Amino acid sequence: MRWLLGSLLFASFWVQADTMEHYMGISNQIPQMEMKADPQAQTWARSARNVLIITNESIAETLLQANELAKNQGNPLFCLPAGVTLNANTLNDIILKTYKELSSQQSDKNKMTVSQMAWLGVNKSYPCKASAPNTALAPMVQQMQHGSAG
């Protein structure tokens, strides 16, 4: 289990887009840039949207692979309901919702990585009700929720 946790943390740092402050800045600017008549602004918006999509796809794939390994060991990290796919769009919605609802100080939330925010959101959105909580990961999740993991 420690190997899995270490791999997940390494992968999350490897594929992280940046801090949540940067992610939210890009996310919030896209609609504004799309509305401008300037072709450069619209090109920027398309490029920025693609960067966020690629980031979310990478993080989603990492989370799914880690969850599959954990599930094979009998202790899944999260449980997707039937018919739900963890893809770039779903993960973006989860990240934005988690960022908005997280009770940490704004500066602490902004310092978190996109991967950390995604991890918290997926765990909150898709808990495994039938099994006991994953106690091996509890300290890391608690640390990230309090914003001191950045």
3-state secondary structure of 64: helix
Output the pLDDT for position 82.
92
* Angle subtended by helix axes 20-35 and 114-125, to nearest 10: 90
Is the pTM value of this prediction over 0.85? no
Q: What band does 146 get if pLDDT is binned at 50, 70 and 90? A: low
Query: In this predicted model, what pLDDT tens digit does every residue of 90-131 receive, in sequence order?
Result: 999 999 999 999 988 888 999 999 999 999 999 999 999 864
Could you count the other beta carbons within 10 Å of the beta carbon of residue 19?
A: 18
User: Is the pLDDT confidence value at 134 over 70?
Assistant: no
Q: Which residues of 118-128 are buried (b: 16+ CB within 10 A; e: fewer)?
A: bbbbbbbbbeb
Query: In this predicted model, what pLDDT tens digit does every residue of 82-96 receive, in sequence order?
Result: 999 999 999 999 999
Domain ranges (residues) in the chain: 2-145
Rounded CA-CA distance 45/33 in Å is: 6
Output the pLDDT for position 103.
86
Output the pLDDT for position 106.
86
User: Is the pLDDT confidence value at 29 over 70?
Assistant: yes
Q: Which residues contact 92 (CB under 8 A, 6 or more apart)?
A: 27, 52, 53, 56
- Consecutive H or E run containing 10: helix 2-15
Query: In this predicted model, what pLDDT tens digit does every residue of 37-95 receive, in sequence order?
Result: 888 999 999 999 999 999 999 999 999 999 999 999 999 999 999 999 999 999 999 99
